[in-house]
Amino acid sequence: MTLERSFGLNLPDYPWDAMAPYVEEARQHPDGAVNLSIGTPVDPTPDVVQRALRDAANAPGYPTTHGTVELREAISEWYRRRRNVVGLDPADILPTVGSKELVAWLPTLLGLGAGDVVVRPTVAYPTYDMGAHFAGATPVAADSLAELDADTRARVRLVWVNSPSNPTGAVHDVEALRVIVDEARSLGAMVASDECYAELGWGIWDPATGGQPVPSILDARVSGGSSDLLLSVYSLSKQSNVAGYRAAFAAGDSKVLANLINSRKHAGMIVPFPVQEAMRAALSDDAHVAAQKDLYRARREQLIPALEAFGLTIHSSDAGLYLWATAGEDTWITVKRFAELGIIVGPGTFYGEAGNGFVRVALTGSDERVRAAATRLSA
């Protein structure tokens, strides 16, 4: 007698697979497809980062899970210089293998499970939900803990903040972040703030044009000067074009970080030493970040009027690599209309029910492809 048992996790299909017919239609355009759907960098990795990676290529030994002291000191200095976070102890910093793996595994590594609630924004990156599912916890969509009923509030263990938001580009100011922190702390819940687009603020959030920096959850004006129950998560993928390096980090609550480091040692979650050195170089050089942002600024300024000419209205989009837009119709009708022009965009429905009617348009096309998209849309 053979006992048959299935293996594998029972997860929903990867959402982007649903885009296949629209991608194929866009590819039929005589001038080729313009893919503005996924925010993967297309510009070269800066020389300063590539050199650091090459110089550290002779790395025969195991790197440390906690990361080198030099890297953690560079991250602490970056927080001071770029994020208005003063006095961050390098011991309370952890490099991660990209930020997505941390988002996906954080509930599990925090020890969450059945009965625990993970709160994420109503329009949000889907991996927040997946992380809760991996742990056996319950994901709940809410933009404020005050929206939750008493039973749900009592079970909240982790609150995800995403500012600047993917996909909407909305930014929480200091006061809004402080309210979230105070509410979560009153419940004894962790706040994890995904801040990977923080260097890409526009308008009032663009220091290069007279605006202010996007605030961090660890900013004393938000945290009250304590990192207790707080975790800031950041990725270099967008600011430094190193998505292929898987280079990110987390910082915050001392006790939580110490436990995460110990757990990750057991699991072998380690950032390779050459990547750690590349991160250190990237975080110590602001010039390449400013230059890359100028490229995105120019592409954004081309796409906004073109999208509006095509009948879309831009919402939020105050920061980040995306324009969050609606034509006042079903998401998939809009996706289809773009595909007919050979342009691939991201369906808003991938980011929760509240995203229906919207599309996400990435700034991550080359200059030539963005010009092509703007021309097609304007025509």
Identify which of 109, 70, 95 has the alpha carbon closest to the alpha carbon of residue 272. Answer: 95
Stated pTM of the model = 0.95
- Cα distances from 360 to residues 32, 186, 241, 312, in angstroms, run 20, 35, 20, 11
CB atoms within 10 A of CB 229: 21
Selection from 134, 87, 84, 127 nearest residue 110 by Cα:
134
| Cα gap 358→327, rounded to integer Å | 7
pLDDT in tens, the chain (379 residues): 567 778 888 888 888 889 999 999 999 999 999 999 999 999 999 999 999 999 999 999 999 999 999 999 999 999 999 999 999 999 999 999 999 999 999 999 999 999 999 999 999 999 999 999 999 999 999 999 999 999 999 999 999 999 999 999 999 999 999 999 999 999 999 999 999 999 999 999 999 999 999 999 999 999 999 999 999 999 999 999 999 999 999 999 999 999 999 999 999 999 999 999 999 999 999 999 999 999 999 999 999 999 999 999 999 999 999 999 999 999 999 999 999 999 999 999 999 999 999 999 999 999 999 999 999 999 9
Residue 319 is given by DSSP the state: B
Sheet holding 313-315, edge to edge: 313-315, 322-326, 358-362, 346-347
Task: Give the up-direction half-sphere exposure of residue 30: CA atoms within 13 A in the CB hemisphere.
Answer: 1
Helix (H) / strand (E) containing 271: none
> How many residues are given for the chain?
379
Task: Give every CB contact of residue 248 below 8 A, 6+ residues apart in sequence.
Answer: 95, 96, 97, 98, 99, 102, 196, 233, 234, 235, 236, 237
Of 273, 321, 253, give the one whose Cα is nearest residue 97.
273
Can you give the pLDDT at residue 11? Answer: 83
Radius of gyration of the chain (CA): 21
Buried b (16+ CB within 10 A) or exposed e, 294-314: ebbeebbebbbebbeebebee
